[in-house]
Structure formats: C-alpha cells, structure tokens
A and B are shown apart, each in its own frame.
Chain A
Amino acid sequence: MTTLQPPAGVARRPDRPPKRDRRSWTGWGFIGPFAVVFAFVFLAPIAYSIYLSLFRDKLIGGTSFVGLDNYKQALQDDQFWSSLERVSLFLLIQVPIMLGIALLVALALDSGRLYGRNFFRISIFLPYAVPAVVATLMWGFMYGTRFGLVGDINSAFDVTLPDPLSADLVLASIGNIVTWEFVGYNMLIFYSALRVIPNSLYEAAEIDGAGQIRIISAIKLPAIRGALVIATIFSIIGSFQLFNEPSILRPLARNAITTDYTPNYYTYSLSFNGQQHNYSAAVAIIMGLITMVIAYVVQLRGMRKGA
C-alpha cells in the first residue's frame, strides 16, 4: 500500500502517512494487554498442540517426529468418526428442539400477554445458572432406576419405565439435560433481540390489520435472524464439544457410555488413560477444524439470507 503511493505533492491528504503510523501504535497500545493474554492463553496452547501433534511418544521407544502420521491415523480412526457421528446426531435432534422451545418462550414473553412475566423469565433462565456438573449429577440421580426418581416411580406405581441410562436411551437423556440447561440462555438471547424491535413497526402492522401470527412471521422472526444464527452457532459448537454430561454420567452407566463417546471425551481418554498426548492433540485439532468449518458455513448461509 504505502510503497505504491503517488508522489506526496499530489496526495489528497498529505498529512496522512505519519498520522496513520502514530494512530496505529496508539491502537496497539490499547489492545496490548489483551494481545499478550490472548497470545498466552489462546495462541500458545494451539501452537503447542500443533507442535505436539507432529510427534509420537511411545512407552517403548520414546518420542519421535512423525510428521502428519497422527493426522492420517485420525482420519482413518473408526472410534473418532463414530463419536463424531454420535454428536452430529445429537446436534440434528437436540439443537432444533432446544432452540424451538427457547424461541417459543421468548415470543410468549415478548407478546406481553403473559401473566407474571418476570417470574416466568427468571425461572426459565435459572437452570443456566446451575453449573453443568451439578445439573448432570442432579439429573443422574433422577434417572437412576434403583435409587432415583425413575426407581421411585417404578416402585410407587408398580410399573417399569424404560431405563434412561441404558445404551439406547442415554444419548436422549443427555439431550434432555442439555436442553434443560440451555433453553433459558437461548431464550434470553432471543428475548433481548425481540426487545429492540422498534414499536413503530408493530403500530404500522396494526394499522395494516396484521394478526399476531403475521407479526411474528413478518416482523419478529426476520428481525431476530442474527440472534437465531448466533444461537445456532453456539449450539453447534456446544454439541461438538459435549464432554461434561457424558463424563459425569459415566460412573452410572459405565457400559453404555464408552470412553470414545464424544470426540472430546475420546481425546480426554486418549490423553489421560492412554498417555497418547500427541495423537490426542491431532484428534483435537481435526475436531476444532471441523467445528470451525461447520460453524462458518452456518454463519455464511444464515447471514446471506438475512442480507
């Protein structure tokens, strides 16, 4: 840019170059503290993971440089792909349900027809304030067929409810926990987006004789499209990073929740049970890239339609 500039005499803003230089330094000064922290806690770990992923540490034979071998192995690793399949299934079913409920609740709150709106809002949001670990433990106790709520119902009514921690149902049970935890959070995103829609639009719609359904589909939904896209992206990332819930439920369902249940749990097991830090780093990086690509595609699509 600077080297191809025309002679100074004909420049439209002759005072620009030195000023720009000074201005940019001031800017860096402001973000400096952030940049340092960012470099240490974000860039350095990523760089270190990439570095790690190029080696292989064996119990016998020690550490050796293997180039991209770990990546090749990960791409052919059935355990990794089946865990990715599992979280993708989770994503396809759980995320629409969760966002659908959150949207309904947000629209209901925003409609102004709800009695006790503040109480309703805070109680829907409350589960989000419960740490995921506590929430999972709590649900785990409810799911128990011998000691928990399910067990109590079974013995009180002499029925046999399906075991929520069985191999077939445990993914749905995890979905239920995650939905319970995050409906309130997503509701809040949608609700705050709805609150900033100018009143004049509603007035105009009323004058045109539009009903509530029409107002929702023609005004509210288009207006909060950005919020919808953001919530979807967060949910995709959240699904791909599923870890807390399966790892905490595992002691209750050791045979149903395997050590390669989700990609994150798989990398954790590789690293901490198998001492395969290098391979684990490669799997984590591949998973990070996949998440980034999918989140980016969703963002591009969502925003393009919105424009």
Chain B
Amino acid sequence: MRRTSGRLLRGLTLLSVLALGATACGGSDDDSSGQKAVSATDIQAALKKGGTVNVWAWEPTLKTVAADFQKKYPKVKINLVSERSGDKHYTALSNAISAGKGVPDVAQVEYFALSQYSLTKGLSDLAPYGADKLAAKYTPGPWNAVSEGDKVYGLPMDSGPMAMFYNKKVFDKYKIAVPTTWDEYVDAARKLHKADPKVYIANDAGDAGFTTSMLWQAGSRPYKVDGTKVTVNFEDAGAKKYTDTWQKLIDEKLVSPINGWTDDWYKGLGDGTIATLTTGAWMPANFVSGVPNASGDWRAAPMPQWTKGDKASAENGGSSLALPALGKNKELAYAFVEYANSGDGVQTRIKQGAFPATKAELQSTEFQNTKFDYFGGQEANKIFAESAANVASDWSYLPFQQYANSIFNDTVGKAYISGTKLAAGLKSWQDASIKYGNEQGFTVSK
C-alpha cells in the first residue's frame, strides 16, 4: 500500500512538474531594442511576397480600410478581430503578451494605455520603419502621446479634442442660454432641473476618462512621468477648480447618475433628459448610430471655460495602432498601420465619421465645411478643429493608467453615492495609484 501510494505521488508530482514546465516556458525574451532600419523597399518587397496580419482593433471604420488594403495588395490577408474593446481588449492583449503566445501583429491602443505597454517593452519602436518622419503630419496632442524621445510606439488613428454637445431643443424650450463657462453651466443645470425635475444637465456616475479630461482642461497636471519616476497629485489649483464646481452639481443632484454607453444613457440622450454631453469629437458617429431619433435636436459647441473668454481644451479618448513586440510579419503590419493612419485609409475613415489626427485633413476646407445633418446642418468640424488646436500638450497619463482607471469607481466613485467629497475621493485614488505604482517597481510619490 505504502509503496504504491508513494509511486502514485511521484507520478502525480511528475505530472504537475510537466504541467508547470509547459505553462512556464512561454516567457518572453524578445528584446526589440537595437533594431535595424527597415527601408521602404523592404516593406514593398514584403507586400509583394504577402502574408497574414492579425489585427486587434474595435475602431469600426477599419473594416473598410482592411478591405481596401487587401484589394490593393492581394497577397496580404488582414485578419481583423474587432469584438473586444476597452478593458477586455487590454486584458486579452496583456495576457497574450505575458503568455508570449497569440499576440496580434497590430493592436489598437488608446493613448492613455500606450506608455504602459511601451515601458514594459510590449511594443515595437516604429522609428526604424520610418514612422519618425511622419511627426509633422499629426496634431501635437496625439503625436506627443505616441512618441517618447526619438521612439515612436504607434501611429495616431484618431483624436478626441473635446466639445460640448447640447440638446438645443431642450435649451430652447426652457429659454436657457447655452453655457460658455462652467459657472454658467452650473446655473443652467439648476434652471433646467427646476423647470423639469426629469431633466439633468449631464449624466455622470463617475467616469475616469471624463474626470481626467476635465482636470486636463482645468489646468491640473496630476501625473508627472519621468521614466520610472512618477508623481501623482490631485491637489493642485486646477483640480480644486474642477472639484469645487463639480461638487456643486453632485451635491445638488444636478447630474443624472447614469453610466455612459448604457441603454439608459442612449435613452436619456434621445428623450432630452440628458441636456449636454461634454466629450471627444469622435462622438457624432455614435450619435447617428446610437440616438437616431434625436436627429436635428443636438448641436456642438466649444467646451465651457473656467475663465470667460478662454479657449482651453483637452482630449478625451483617441487611439493609435501599435505593433506588439511579439507580433510577426512586422513589415506587413507596419505597412497596414501606415496605410490606415497616414495613407489612403485616413480619407476612407473620415468619410465614415472618424475624427482624424492628421493636420492636413483637419485643416482642409472640405473637412471644415462638412455639414452635419444630425446637428441640423451645423459645420461642427470647425468647432472640433479649433478645439484640437487649443489642446494643451503637456498632459501625461500614468504608465499604469489602465489599472488606475479600473479602481476609479472604488475610490472617486464614493463621492457619487455617499457623503465623501470629490476631493477626498481623488485623494484616495491618488493613494491607491501611488501604492500600486510602487508595488510595480516605479518610484511613485505625491
């Protein structure tokens, strides 16, 4: 009995060790530094030879771009995986990178998440492929987000200079002026809600992307990143401006506690119970597809200001296409990224409602004079383009922003459902971010 069970134990141990071995040897030992330059002829040769490029991206207009690209280069097959977005996308990408298996050749990475991947050598430097020469093509905000010194970790796909969308019908009905400053915004919120208790100036149930963009516009610079030295501080003057004002809206229950991208939200945007939406210029396409019944009701306006007469703006959202270091067929992958974000693909994508990050397109009269039927024929791109030009470029996100955003509702979220103040919520977000950063090997301080 004892002998056999001993043998069995040994057998089981062996099995476990084998299983361990199988799972453990997927580690990544690729190092993408010290690449040789890849000439345009190399890329052309690769395109002639052909191959498959696996792309993980949810940006809807890429479908057409991929089809056009395959038509142009019949030997190249673009395998577009677009089911995942946001958190799920990054979870899958991070898991694939740490497993060293199933890594896509091209991945959509939002600007806020780029540095997390570039810092951990998860992305290839695109400068050797010639991406560094494209700097002048893009607006400064997105280019700052994708480049780090002389390295380029992705090509900007779109951008999200912010604007305030407002339901003109609602404002007209109650004869309330469209706010141009945040103080006027609070007044308008009070008047609207008083006129009809079902109407709220905006929805906000705690959204990390929105809050950081608001801080950005208010002149707060909570994150400072210098290599692995990071500071997180939500106690500057800009943050105080934001929390003082927004606290009023929360305390007086003037914002509707609805999360974005939910059925409730689309319903509120459609029936006039959400009167404004301050977000990125990529929103119009979503209005058209998500809130078709309110066509003609909405207009775009510049973002309200902290000081009357200012033109400060910020970015909200926006993504790049990047090449994960462990991906294959690099030349083809780069050729596709360049085609989509710098070449012919840009026009295709703009026609379908994407908001470009390229200067030429933003400044073209054709783009600026586009009339939006949804906005009652308004030439909204003029507002967006002006906003893009006024985005302060010294903002940076954390190199672990993805994690920080995931705990936003644990910390700042408390301000929306209890007596916790917004400023206190930001403080605990700050503490939790500092703790995590230090655990991850960064030197993070206040």
Contact = CB atoms under 8 A, between A and B. Distances in A.
Contact of A269 (B20, B406, B441): B406
A259 B410 contact: yes
18 contacts: A1-B2, A25-B4, A28-B4, A39-B11, A39-B16, A58-B440, A59-B119, A59-B120, A59-B400, A147-B263, A166-B417, A251-B259, A255-B414, A258-B409, A269-B407, A273-B407, A275-B403, A277-B98
A60 B440 contact: yes
Contact of B441 (A61, A166, A277): A61
A1 B264 contact: no
Nearest to B97: A275
A255 B15 contact: no
Nearest to A47: B16
A272 B1 CA distance: 44
B365 interface: no
B127 interface: no
A259 B407 contact: yes
Contacts of B23: 48
Contact of B8 (A35, A255, A258): A35
A277 B26 CA distance: 15
B259 A254 contact: yes
B378 interface: no
A146 B264 contact: yes
B25 interface: no
A16 to B, nearest CB: 12
Which of A28, A51, A167, A274 is the most central at the interface, judged by chain B CB atoms within 10 Å of its CB? A274
Nearest to A146: B264
A24 interface: yes
Nearest to B418: A167
B32 to A, nearest CB: 15
B352 interface: no
A20 B19 contact: no
Contacts of A51: 20
The 4 closest A-B pairs by CB, nearest first: A60-B441, A255-B413, A58-B441, A44-B19
A251 B409 CA distance: 11
A25 B1 CA distance: 9
B440 A59 contact: yes
A51 B23 CA distance: 12
B179 interface: no
A272 B406 CA distance: 10
B402 interface: yes
Given A47-B20, A59-B399, A60-B440, A273 B406 contact: yes
Interface of A: 1-2, 20, 24-25, 28, 35-36, 39-40, 43-44, 47-48, 51, 57-61, 146-147, 166-167, 251, 254-256, 258-260, 269, 272-277
B440 A273 contact: no
Interface residues of B, number: 45
A65 to B, nearest CB: 13
A59 B442 contact: yes
Contact of A20 (B1, B228, B259, B442): B1
Contact of B409 (A58, A166, A255): A255
Contact of A275 (B19, B20, B94, B410): B94
B439 interface: yes
B8 to A, nearest CB: 7
Given A39-B16, A254-B409, A256-B417, A1 B439 contact: no
B410 A28 contact: no
B442 A60 contact: yes
B263 A44 contact: no
Interface string B225-262: 00010000000000000000000000000000011001
A167 B409 CA distance: 12
Nearest to A272: B91
B136 interface: no
Nearest to B4: A24
A255 B87 CA distance: 17
B375 interface: no
A146 B258 contact: yes
B324 interface: no
A43 to B, nearest CB: 6
Interface string B3-24: 0100010011001100110010
A127 to B, nearest CB: 25
Interface string B400-430: 1011001101100110111000000000000
Contacts of B12: 35, 39, 43
Contacts of B58: none
A251 B263 CA distance: 12
B116 interface: yes
A200 to B, nearest CB: 41
Nearest to A62: B441
A269 B4 CA distance: 42
A24 B413 CA distance: 61
Contacts of B439: 58, 276
A155 B323 CA distance: 52
B442 A39 contact: no
Interface string B100-141: 000000000000000010011000000000000000000000
Contacts of B288: none
Contact of A48 (B19, B263, B413): B19
Contacts of A146: 258, 264
A36 B12 CA distance: 8
A292 B263 CA distance: 42
A269 B407 CA distance: 9
B15 A44 contact: yes
A121 to B, nearest CB: 37
A51 B19 CA distance: 12
Contacts of B409: 254-255, 258-259
Given A35-B8, A251-B259, A259-B407, A275 B87 contact: no
A293 to B, nearest CB: 24
Contact of A258 (B4, B400, B410): B410
B403 to A, nearest CB: 5
B367 interface: no
A248 B436 CA distance: 25
Contacts of B407: 259, 269, 273
Nearest to B122: A59
B92 to A, nearest CB: 10
Which of B19, B262, B436 is the most central at the interface, judged by chain A CB atoms within 10 Å of its CB? B19
B206 interface: yes
